[in-house]
């Protein structure tokens, strides 16, 4: 075996090394090992820093989202704040009593709990301020994400419960107001029909100008009232609110009918008062002109000459005149009015029956309308 071959075997076989060479080899091995460890540590540190930075970026994003979610949660709670009147500020209509209702209590408690946990999750970064190396844990980011989801979910649950409550409140109000409005309208229509019937049964009264104008106005508004919608729809909150407004319209129409009926009633009363005054005047005129009469039959055709004196007997204190014709016009008018009043006269029991709104007493009985 040649010398080079012997040297090669000697170099590759540690058993043949001298003590000095063995020490050198050990030192080299240690150095290489330490270098490897150092490199690994450096690489690990760099990787750790990158992970810390990534978690910091993610946490900062989640923290911003948490602030926004918490703000929306507080805004939702403000919509039912009973320290503010409904419709003022952020307070919504038809939320009265929500906070005291079972569903309101549960939704409010759950949302407040989610807000508290979200606030705590935001503090993870501040809790690291005293650390020698400030680096958020994976759990910090996970907790922030969970808190964000919880506050968003509870805000949605709260608003859903609130809106369901508002819909029920608005629907109940719409039904109650429409029921009252329909009852009011039905009574107004019934009274109007009765008032219209009174005029329909008296053609002479119907021809009076004031009565006719009021009669036509009442018929028109009464006919309109029969075509108005009284249906409540409440598939959504907006529909329920619209039905509340519809009930107000129905109630207003009932009042329009009542006002028109009152106008006709006043016109009828005025007509009867005028008729009564006319009858009284005619009666007085007939009485004052029926004092003394003399009838002289002529020789032709049955014509007659009448002499009237009123106010006394004898040759003094009265006035006299002679009238030719076929009859006394005052007596004819008096007879007509007398017959009309007798036909319309009622007994006291009839006048007190409650069917009439205005009555006055005459020599013939009660005249009512």
Tell whether the model's pLDDT for residue 25 goes beyond 80: no
The band of 318, judged by pLDDT with boundaries at 50, 70 and 90, is: very low
Q: CB-based burial of residue 325 (10 Å sphere; 0-12 exposed, 13-18 middle, 19+ buried)?
A: exposed
Cross-strand bridge partners of residue 346: 366
Number of neighbours of residue 295 by Cβ within 10 angstroms? 8
Q: What is the mean pLDDT of residues 32-59?
A: 66
| Sole residue written with tokens 């009932």 | 254
Identify the band that residue 366 occupies on the pLDDT scale cut at 50, 70 and 90: confident
The average pLDDT across 205-229 equals: 95
Q: Categorize the per-residue pLDDT at 35 as very low, low, confident or very high, splitting at 50, 70 and 90.
A: low
The proportion of the chain whose per-residue pLDDT surpasses 70, expressed as a percent, equals 68
- Residue 97 DSSP class: T
Q: For residue 220, how far is the Cα from the chain centroid?
A: 28
Sequence-ordered list of residues with C-beta below 8 angstroms from that of 342, at least 6 positions apart, any chain: 364
Number of H helices, E strands in the chain: 9, 5
According to DSSP H, which parts of 226-328 are helical? 237-288
- The continuous run of DSSP H or E covering 207 comes out as none
SS3 state at 106: helix
Output b/e per residue, 33-62; b: 16+ Cβ within 10 A.
eeeeeeeeeeeeeeeeeeeeeebbebbeeb
Task: Output the six-digit token pair for 96.
Answer: 């009265």
From the list 158, 72, 66, 74, the residue with the least C-alpha distance to 118 is 66
Confidence grade of residue 308 (pLDDT, cut at 50, 70, 90):
very low
Q: Where are the beta strands (DSSP E) in the chain?
A: 292-297, 304-310, 319-325, 359-362, 365-368
**Helix H or strand E encompassing 108:** helix 102-122
On the 0-12 / 13-18 / 19+ scale of CB atoms within 10 A, 10 is middle
Q: Are the C-beta atoms of 310 and 288 separated by less than 8 Å?
A: yes
Helix (H) or strand (E) holding 333: helix 329-344
Q: Return the DSSP state at 91.
A: P
Copy the structure tokens of residue 58.
Answer: 């993610």
Q: What is the pLDDT of residue 311?
A: 39
Share of the chain above pLDDT 90, in %: 50
pLDDT band at 21 (very low <50, low <70, confident <90, very high): low
Q: Do the Cβ atoms of 91 and 80 come closer than 8 Å?
A: yes
């Amino acid at each position: 075996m040649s010398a080079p071959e012997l040297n090669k075997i000697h170099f590759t076989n540690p058993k043949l090394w001298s003590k000095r060479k063995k020490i050198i080899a050990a030192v080299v091995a240690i150095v290489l090992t330490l270098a490897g460890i150092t490199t690994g540590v450096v690489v690990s540190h760099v990787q750790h820093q990158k992970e810390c930075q990534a978690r910091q970026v993610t946490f900062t994003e989640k923290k911003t989202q948490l602030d926004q979610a918490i703000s929306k949660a507080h805004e939702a709670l403000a919509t039912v704040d009973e320290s503010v009147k409904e419709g003022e500020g952020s307070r919504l209509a038809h939320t009265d009593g929500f906070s005291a209702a079972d569903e309101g209590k549960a939704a409010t408690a759950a949302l407040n709990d989610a807000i508290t946990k979200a606030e705590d999750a935001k503090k993870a970064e501040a809790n690291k301020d005293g650390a020698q190396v400030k680096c958020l844990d994976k759990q910090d980011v996970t907790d922030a994400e969970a808190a964000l989801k919880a506050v968003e979910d509870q805000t949605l649950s709260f608003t859903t419960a609130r809106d369901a409550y508002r819909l029920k409140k608005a629907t109940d109000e719409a039904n109650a107001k429409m029921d009252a409005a329909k009852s009011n309208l039905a009574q107004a229509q019934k009274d109007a029909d009765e008032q219209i019937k009174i005029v329909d049964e008296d053609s002479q009264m119907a021809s009076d100008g004031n009565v006719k104008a009021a009669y036509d106005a009442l018929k028109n508004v009464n006919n309109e009232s029969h075509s108005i919608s009284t249906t409540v729809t409440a598939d959504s909150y907006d529909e329920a609110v619209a039905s509340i407004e519809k009930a107000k319209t129905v109630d207003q129409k009932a009042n329009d009918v009542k006002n028109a009926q009152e106008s006709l009633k006043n016109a009828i009363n005025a007509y009867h008062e005028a008729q009564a005054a006319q009858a009284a005047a005619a009666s007085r005129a007939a009485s004052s002109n029926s004092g003394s009469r003399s009838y002289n039959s002529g020789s032709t055709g049955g014509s007659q000459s009448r002499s009237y004196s009123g106010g006394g007997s004898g040759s003094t204190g009265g006035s006299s005149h002679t009238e030719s014709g076929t009859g006394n016009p005052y007596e004819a008018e008096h007879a007509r009015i007398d017959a009309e009043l007798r036909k319309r006269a009622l007994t006291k029991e009839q006048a007190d029956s409650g069917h009439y709104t205005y009555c006055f007493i005459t020599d013939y009985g009660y005249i009512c309308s």
